[in-house]
Structure formats: C-alpha cells, structure tokens
Structure 1
Amino acid sequence: MDLQISVFLLFILFTAGHSLSCYECMSLTGSCAEQTVKTCPSGYSQCMSSTAVAQAGDITSKVKAKDCSVDCQSGSMNLGIVRTTSSCCNTNQCNAQDAPDPSNIPNGNKCFSCDGQTCSNILSCSGTEDRCIKATGTFGGQSIVVKGCASKSVCDATSVSSYEGISCCEGNLCNGAQSVTQSFLFLCCSLLSYFMMH
C-alpha cells in the first residue's frame, strides 16, 4: 500500500513539474514592464517574446508581447510598414527579456514589398533576414498579397501556418513584383498577429 501511494505521489509531482510556465504581457507602450506568470495549456511547449514596429508615414508604434506558444521560431520579418522579431525558448519563465527591436542595419539582401497599390517596392532586408517572403490569401472575398524579407527560421514556421499561399525564396527580388489593389493592411496585421502568437 505504501508503495502505491509513493508511486502515485511521484506521478503527480512528475506531471506537475512538466507544465511549462511563461511570462505573459501585451504592451502598446514599447515595454513589457507589467508581466504575469502563466501556466501554459497542454501542447504549448515554448515561451515566446516578440517586438513589432509599425511605421505609417511619420507615425511609429511599437508592440511588445509575451506568451506561451505551440510553434514559435526565433527570427525576424520585415513587410515594409511592419517589422517584427521573435525570441523563443522552452524552459520555465525563459521569456523574461523582451525580444530585441527589429534591426535597421541592411544586410545586402533585397526583396519586393507591397504598399496596398503595388508590390514593386524594393525593400532592403536587415539583420538575419536572408529570405524573401510572399503570402496570399482570400479575406472577405478579396485576394490579398503581402511581400517582404524574413529569416529562414520564420519561413520554416510558415509551413504550419493557418494562412495559405505562404512561400519563401532565396535570392534578391525572388518574390516577384506583381501589383495588388486589395486590403494589404488587413493581411499585414493578420500575419503579424500570427507570428506574435505562434
């Protein structure tokens, strides 16, 4: 009887010890100063920290987020008006540090990007962005295209994305320059939220 109780208690301690806990926060002020510890749901095996910088004309905004993740990949993505970096780890509360701001230092790679009217803008990639990315989808009955630069690790994560038509390629301007006239900003925000939460 004592052996059964001991095994049962060890089992409880063993399974409880395998629940990952991560910091959680969402900040529109540029810093995750107020963060809480969250026990991740079953199946969430990573902690994530991300920083996104959006530029619209003279207005710049920065969003920092931390949470549990199923399929997080450390890396960066630049869609022209939105740049984001993600840092991922797999131990308890390992996402205490904010993800770094996206790099502004060009690395020599160039990709096409879209601005809502055309996808022939040339974007200078920076940091670890060594791939060009293109995403297409249908939202509200309209076809939408976004293009830009991404790290290889971010491209690898898109294979499990809920978005269809995501592809990456290597080489300058390999993501084509087709024009687009649909809701570009909507897909940018959707892609950004996907990468921030996964």
Structure 2
Amino acid sequence: ENKTSLFYLLSADALKCNECIPDQAGTCTNKQVECSSNQICASLREIYSEGGAERSNVLSKRCVPTEECGDSSFNYANFKTSFVIECCNSDFCNTKDASAPIKSIPNKMKCYGCVGLPCNRTLNCESNQDRCITSTVTDQGGTKVARGCATKKICSSPTFLQGNKIVGKVDSCCEGNYCNSATTATASLLAVPLISLVLLY
C-alpha cells in the first residue's frame, strides 16, 4: 500500500507545461510536454541590446529547473542580454508571456568590459549583476575573449542559455571589482588555447 502511495506522489511531481521554443525566424508552435521532476513551468523573455538600442525581444515557454527562475543578465561593453523567467507550479500554468525586465540601475560593482583586446574599459554592473565574467565568443568568424558583468545564474551555464551564441562559452566568473583582469592566472591560461586556435585556422 505504501509503495502505491509513493508511486502516485512521484507521478504527481511531474508537471505538464506549455512549450514554445522559437526557431531562427522567431516563430514557435506551442506543444504540451511533461517536465522532469526537478522542473517547473516557465515563461521566458530574452532581450538583446547593442549600444543601448534593443535589437531583439524573444518570448518562449518551457520547463526549467526551479533555481533558474527570476531575472538575470550579462553585458560585455556595448552588448547586453537580459532574461526574465517567470515560473509557476501547476499544470499548463505558463500561458502568459513573461513581463518586460525592470529598468536596470547601476550598482557599485565594476568589471572590465570588452569583446577582444585591449580590455581596459571599466564597465559599471547593473541591478543584480554580482559577478565579473570572462567568456569565449565567436565574433565575425573569429574567436575572441569577452569580459563583462553577469548575475550568478549566468555563471552556472543554465539551460536557458543553451543555443545563445551571444554569451559564448563561460570560462570563469569571479567576485570583486575588476577581478576579470587579463592579468589573472586563469585568464592568461585560457588565452593560450585561443591563440593556438586562431593560428590553426
């Protein structure tokens, strides 16, 4: 009898959610899916800005791990991407589009911000950005190091970043002003295979 009760409890844990993941043209077809036991339903909005101007505003719906819910963002110098992930915990509850992000305000943290070298520009982090980030991005067909500000969630390579080419591959995140300096041991080591890669191709 206990085994039967346990089976129903485990079955009840898996939520059914709407899933609508846009293709390259930005269109998507809504379907109904069953989430993994550690996931809940979510509506997402991803906004990409360049030089302060909004370039894309993409909506999607999917299952996400609970720790990914909430607002997160990253920016490298002139490039910024914000995510709003609104979660809910009942079957097919993610029917509405995610809200627009709250207006960003500078916080006290400062990181180096750039795509490529030299990287001596000060970037004022915004809102809940609490890490300096170093990533490897593909820019105009070549591989470059990008540095900037990010929220903690971005650093853990969450599922909502899959397929996002702008963030690139997250190499390291650190806490403290200007901790993503090119002179750090980690960044120097990371630069070696990148140079080799460029020379090989």
TM bracket, shorter-chain basis: 0.5 to 0.7
- Flag the structure with more relative contact order, 1 or 2, with Cα contacts below 8 A and sequence separation at least 6: 1
Corresponding position of 2:33: 39
What are the ranges of 5 or more consecutive residues in structure 1 without an aligned counterpart?
184-198
Tell me the secondary structure at the aligned position of residue 157 of structure 2. helix
Aligned identity (percent) is 28
Taking the aligned partners of 2:175 and 2:181, their CA distance within structure 1 comes to 12
1:150-169 deviations in Å (ceiling 9; x for gaps): 222333x2399998653211
Corresponding position of 1:107: 107
TM-score of the superposition, structure 1-length normalised?
0.60
* 1:54 aligned residue (48, 55, 76): 48
1:102-142 deviations in Å (ceiling 9; x for gaps): 64211122222223554333322111111111123799x96
| CA pair 14-60 structure 1, distance change in 2 beyond 3 A | same
Amino acid at match of 1:148: G
Q: How does 1:58-97 map to 2 (within 5 A)?
A: 60-70=55-65, 73=68, 74-80=70-76, 81-87=79-85, 89=87, 91-92=89-90, 93-95=92-94, 96=96
Q: How does 1:20-35 map to 2 (within 5 A)?
A: 20-26=15-21
Give the deviation of 1:26 after TM superposition: 4.7
Taking the aligned partners of 1:177 and 1:100, their CA distance within structure 2 comes to 34
Amino acid at match of 1:101: P
TM-score of the superposition, structure 2-length normalised?
0.59
Taking the aligned partners of 1:166 and 1:71, their CA distance within structure 2 comes to 24
